[in-house]
């Protein structure tokens, strides 16, 4: 009998923000798939799990390069799913760990789609996790939205011709993975008079966590990939 496949969100970085359900599943599975961007580099998701779960003999590392080349991405996604399917056919219980929540801008989504397309017989369970922007808002004691405010979530590593319009339309905006376009985003926030009501967070919940409202101090810097800005139309009343 084929094993069950789990997609497990392990939260934004603080091991204490892993859910009890995530820990229970990772304790019981036979294989934990740990995504990483290249060989020889540590998996951030695994570094979180290692603090609360005994992973010895369970780890299967999967490479997912950071690139916008779709052919290259397809190659690695398909190879990863091949490896997962091989374990499932042996009756192994397999978990795929991912930062934050598995169904929000996560590599797990592409693995999930391929598994579902290849076989309807695979039993799949997705376990939600704490989103990075929820943890960042909590770290700054700043509400994401209140009363009738609207909230947008943007993967800011991509280019948007209509970013000004998005920022102007929604009361509050989460700009995820903002490092690549940070200076441009800050310029737009200043133009829309939102900069003073915005804040930046990187590596939330980890020892190297950085939280600041002084966006100008970061202009021109090489910022961490796991960083975001929460931009607000209005300040606190």
User: What does the angle CA 7 – CA 175 – CA 138 come to, to the nearest 5 degrees?
Assistant: 75
Pair 65, 73: CB distance under 8 Å: yes
CATH at residue 8: 3.40.1010.10
Could you give the dihedral angle defined by the CA atoms of residues 102, 182, 153 and 210, in that order, rounded to the nearest 10 degrees? Answer: 60
Residue 134 confidence (pLDDT) above 90: yes
**Per-residue pLDDT tens digits for 165-192:** 999 999 999 999 999 999 999 999 999 9
Condensed to tens digits (0 to 9), the pLDDT of residues 63-93 reads 888 777 888 888 888 999 999 999 999 999 9
Comparing 118 with 190, the larger pLDDT belongs to 190
3-state helix, strand, coil split of the chain in percent (to 5) is 35, 20, 45
Contact 111, 77 (CB under 8 A): yes
How many Å apart are CA 106 and CA 53, to the nearest integer?
22
**Are 123 and 9 found together in one domain?**
yes
How many domains, in total, are found in the chain? 2
The answer to whether residue 177 sits within a structural domain is yes
Q: What residue numbers bound the domain in which 16 lies?
A: 4-127
How far is 32 from 39, CA to CA, in rounded Å?
17
Query: 67 and 181 share a domain?
Result: no
Q: Mean pLDDT score of the chain, rounded to an integer?
A: 92
pLDDT at 60 over 80: yes
Average pLDDT over residues 29-37: 93
The predicted structure's pLDDT at residue 234: 81
Instruction: Write down the pLDDT at residue 1.
Output: 60
Residue 104 pLDDT: 95
Q: Higher pLDDT residue, 157 or 99? A: 99
* Ramachandran class of 94: left when φ > 0, alpha when ψ lies in -120 to 50, beta otherwise: beta
Q: Bigger pLDDT: 235 or 11? A: 11
Q: Residue 24's pLDDT band (boundaries 50, 70, 90)?
A: very high
pLDDT at 236: 63
Structure tokens at 147: 């009363």
* Rounded Cα gap, residues 4 and 126, in angstroms: 11
Residue 149: inside a domain, yes or no? yes
Q: Are 30 and 148 in contact (CB under 8 A)?
A: no
In this model, does residue 40 exceed pLDDT 70?
Answer: no
């Amino acid at each position: 009998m084929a094993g069950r496949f789990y997609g497990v969100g392990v939260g934004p970085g603080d091991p204490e923000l892993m859910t009890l359900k995530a820990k229970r599943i990772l304790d019981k599975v036979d294989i934990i798939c740990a995504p990483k961007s290249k060989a020889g580099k540590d998996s951030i998701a695994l570094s979180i799990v290692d603090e609360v779960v005994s992973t010895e003999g369970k780890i299967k590392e999967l490479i997912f390069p950071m690139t916008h080349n779709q052919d290259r991405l397809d190659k690695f996604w398909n190879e990863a799913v091949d490896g997962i399917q091989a374990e499932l056919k042996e009756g192994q219980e397999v978990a795929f760990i991912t930062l934050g929540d598995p169904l929000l801008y996560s590599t797990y989504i592409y693995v999930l789609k391929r598994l579902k397309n290849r076989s309807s017989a695979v039993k799949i369970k997705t376990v939600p996790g704490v989103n990075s922007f929820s943890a960042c808002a909590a770290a700054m004691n700043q509400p994401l939205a209140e009363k009738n405010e609207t909230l947008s979530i943007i993967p800011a590593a991509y280019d948007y011709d209509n970013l000004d319009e998005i920022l102007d339309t929604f009361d509050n905006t989460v700009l995820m993975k903002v490092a690549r376009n940070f200076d441009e985003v800050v310029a737009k926030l200043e133009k829309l008079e939102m900069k003073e009501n915005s804040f930046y967070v990187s590596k939330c919940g980890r020892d190297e966590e950085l939280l600041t409202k002084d966006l100008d101090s970061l202009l021109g810097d090489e910022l961490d990939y796991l960083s975001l800005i929460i931009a607000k139309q209005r300040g606190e009343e």
